[in-house]
Every structure is written in structure tokens, then in C-alpha cells.
Chains A and B, each alone.
Chain A
């Protein structure tokens, strides 16, 4: 075999290996991209399903763990129409029935930690009772 032929064969092999590597790498990238897209779609679908889940009690105010300085707070939230709402803390029980979806009530606070347990009993027996717990800290350190 001539020297030139040997060089040509060697170069051919090198170029072949490079082309093959590039093709493999591109193929893997395409697969990864597809997997990512599918993953995101699944997450998005799950998030949409979660946001569609019906909740019979949602508290918009106050934020759990809030540190405040005051004798009362206003509790605001949403329940199913006609729900019986029970709010209890170590110093007070409040019972109210809501004809609207949104509710708002003033609630007294003790000094220190206030563990507030909220329960909504929907008027529709098909719906389940929902509970929320709030911890509000009434402190005068500001």
C-alpha cells in the first residue's frame, strides 16, 4: 500500500468518527429537548388541575405566621355559599353562617402566640369539611 493511500484511509476514518460523533450528539440533544417539553407539559397540566381543585375554605388575610401589634385582626376568606364557619382560638369562639362566598370577621388576639383553628362546614353534604390553622403573633416589639 502506498503512503498516500494510507493517509487517505486514516483521514477518512477520522472524518467518519467526527461525523458519527456529531450525529450522535445531535440525536441526544433532540431527545432531551423532547423530554423537557413533555415534562413541562405534564407540570403545566398538573398545575392547571390543582388550580381547578375546588376548595371550600381559603384564607386571604392574615398571612400565617404574621407578627403584628394589636388587639384584633380581620380574618378574610372565601367559602362555599351557605357554609357554617367556626373560628376558635384559646380566647374566643366565633360561629357564623355565610350567605356569600366571601367572608370577613374581626377576631380578638391575646398577647403572644395565637393559634386560630378555622373550619368551614359546607351546606352541601357532598362537599367535605375544610380546615385551616393560623398562627398569629401579637407582640409589641416594634
Chain B
């Protein structure tokens, strides 16, 4: 009896626990499948979110614009808004966020970070950021020099005061002072090379391409010092 009792009990125990083992195994497998499915859904969600973020970033980059103009209104600078007017007379509202916007001064071919308070009225600003209608949310603001690049014909050469009067192709009249730093070159009509010339070579009727820097402190409208000027002599057209 004793000899039979142990094997019978073992057999009964084994047989009775088998369904539980099988059941437990199935349950484990099911949990794993659910977990796997849940992870897959999460992966898909993360992927979708990443794609959404990437698309939004691309959209923002696409909407990233640059506008440049002179500061016309600085009274609301403390509140984070200024107004600028482009040389084409378009006015923009620039929104400056103290925590996001970075301001720089352009110095030659580099930049130096400046404080918001350094921005003055009439300063020439280059602003980049998302542009909606006429409002730009500034990411970066650069205070830079304003250059005017035009072409026209010399209408007068004043040899006493070293200036020339020029009528531009858009019919604006300019008085351009020749300074010692002004770079004057004339196109050689045969070789097209640019040769350095002095003031005495400038003649009425010559076509000129000129660059001037607008400082905002000009005493006379449209009167500037020449930075560089390229002269195309009248003889070029008479060839």
C-alpha cells in the first residue's frame, strides 16, 4: 500500500497540475503577444509623432524669411515689438521674444551679440524668422550697414567740390561725393578689364554703377560718399 501510494500521488499530482501548466503557458504567451502589440502601437505613435514634428520643422523652415529695413518705431521695444520700413516702403512689425530672439551687430564678416537696448531708431536691421502677413517673429536680428547699389548716367561733374551728379535708371537724382577711400574703376572697352581711375576721368554722359553706404546722418537727401563706382565710358556704345 505504502509502495503504491507514492507513485499514485505523484501521478495524480502531475496529471492534476498539467492543465494549470498549460493554462499558465498560454496565458504567458498571450500577455507577451499583447505586450508586443502594445509596443508596436507605441512605435507607430512615436513614428507618427516624429514625422509630424519633422514636417512641422520643414514647414517652419520653409516659412523662414528675411526682411530688412530701417527702424521707424522703437517706442514699444520694451514690450517686444518694433517697426521697420524697407527701402521699398513696406512696413513690418518685428516681434522680439527675450527668451528666443538673438540680436547681433554685423562687424565685417562676423557678428557680435548685442542687447535689445542697443537697437536705435533709424538703425538698419535684418530680421529672420517666420513671416505671417506683415509681422515677423524674429529668431535673429542683425544690425547692419545699409548699402544702396544703383546705376545711372553722370549729369554733372563738379571739379571744385569733387562730386558728381547722377540720374539713376529709376529717375532718382543722386549727388555722389568722391572721397580718397572711394574705389573708382573704369571698364576698358576692348578688354572689359576694370582699371583704376581718378576723379579727372569722370565725364558727363558716362554710365556709372555705384555703391553708397547710407548712414542715416546725411545732411542732404540722396547725397552720399561713394564706396565704389564702375564707369562704362560712352565710347563703349559708339563702337
- A-side interface residues toward B, CB under 8 Å? 65, 67, 84, 86, 88-90, 93, 95-97, 110-113, 115-117, 119, 121, 125, 129, 131, 133, 135, 137, 139, 141
Task: Digitize B22-66: 1 where CB-to-A-CB distance is under 8 Å, 0 elsewhere.
Answer: 000000000000000000000000000000000000000000111
* Contact status B68-A86, CB under 8 Å: no
* Contact status A90-B126, CB under 8 Å: no
Q: List the A residue with the shortest CB-CB distance to B106.
A: A112
* Contact status A65-B65, CB under 8 Å: yes
* Contact status A111-B108, CB under 8 Å: yes
> Which A residues touch B126, using CB under 8 A?
112-113, 137
* Contact status B192-A95, CB under 8 Å: yes
Q: A88-B230, A125-B237 are in contact. List 12 more A-B contacts (CB 8 A).
A: A67-B65, A84-B232, A89-B211, A93-B230, A95-B192, A111-B106, A111-B111, A112-B106, A112-B126, A133-B149, A137-B66, A139-B142
Q: Which residues of chain B from 94 to 128 have a CB within 8 Å of any chain A CB? A: 106, 108-111, 126, 128
* Interface band, chain B: 20 to 34
Report how far A138 CA is from B142 CA in the complex, Å: 11
* Contact status A113-B144, CB under 8 Å: yes
* Contact status B106-A117, CB under 8 Å: no
* Contact status B209-A115, CB under 8 Å: no
Report how far A133 CA is from B149 CA in the complex, Å: 9
- Point out the residue from A93, A97, A141 that lies within 8 Å of B194, measured CB to CB: A93
Q: B148 contacts the other chain (Cβ, under 8 Å)?
A: yes
Q: 30 A-B Cβ contacts within 8 A?
A: A65-B66, A67-B65, A67-B128, A84-B232, A86-B230, A88-B151, A88-B211, A88-B230, A89-B149, A89-B211, A93-B209, A93-B228, A93-B230, A95-B194, A95-B230, A96-B192, A111-B110, A112-B142, A112-B144, A113-B144, A117-B149, A117-B209, A119-B151, A121-B232, A129-B169, A133-B149, A137-B66, A139-B66, A141-B128, A141-B140
